[in-house]
Amino acid sequence: MKTTLVIVDVQNDFCEGGSLAVQGGAGVAAAIGPHAASGSYDHVVATRDYHVDPGDHFSDHPDYARTWPAHCVVGTEGAAFHPALDTSRVEEVFSKGRHSAAYSGFEGHGADGTGLADWLRSRDVEAVDVVGIATDHCVRATALDAAREGFTVRVLLGLTAAVARPTTDAALAELRTAGVELVGTPVVAPA
């Protein structure tokens, strides 16, 4: 069975020092590279938030549920992959959210406009392992969409960083219900 590692949104703005930082993000960034290079995967891809003008996704008074501070704006350092993330094995980057909110990597498109599901199917991929930031938001959405698209899905929680315990617990329950295999424990900021 062909398996792809999907690295979700390991960008500067989502790591310590970024505009929407998740505690433990830099450590996760550093740990993903060696895992990607382990030889366990037929393919490795990455997703990224890549906002131009996402409308009401950005807010000066965010609710941190549907609205957020400005982050991952195209052309800024915050949109770049974290320097600790080794991207040498990444074959394609799927950018999402140019003009609207986008949480799932399956909402993104590669350089030629191909969506993630079609890219995976064209390479006969049947299974995906999902890692990255944040466990309770974009990792969750990407894994759920992968399952809906018919892929066998695992989330490698030790290679994810989460925003908060309550939203992470809810996300993990939702993933289990969707048939996603959960491996390990996510990095979660203390309450």
Q: Which residues are catalytic?
A: 9, 96, 138
DSSP per-residue codes, the chain: -EEEEEEE--BGGGSTTSTT--TTHHHHHHHHHHHHTTS--SEEEEEEE-BS--GGGB-SS--SSS-B---SBTTSGGGSBPTTS--TT--EEEEE-SSS---SGGG-B-TTS-BHHHHHHHTTEEEEEEEEE-IIIIIHHHHHHHHHTT-EEEEEEEEEEES-HHHHHHHHHHHHHTT-EEES--EE---
Could you tell me the CA-to-CA distances from 123 to 3, 47, 48, 116, 120 in Å, in that order?
A: 10, 18, 21, 11, 5
CB 54 within 8 A of CB 101: yes
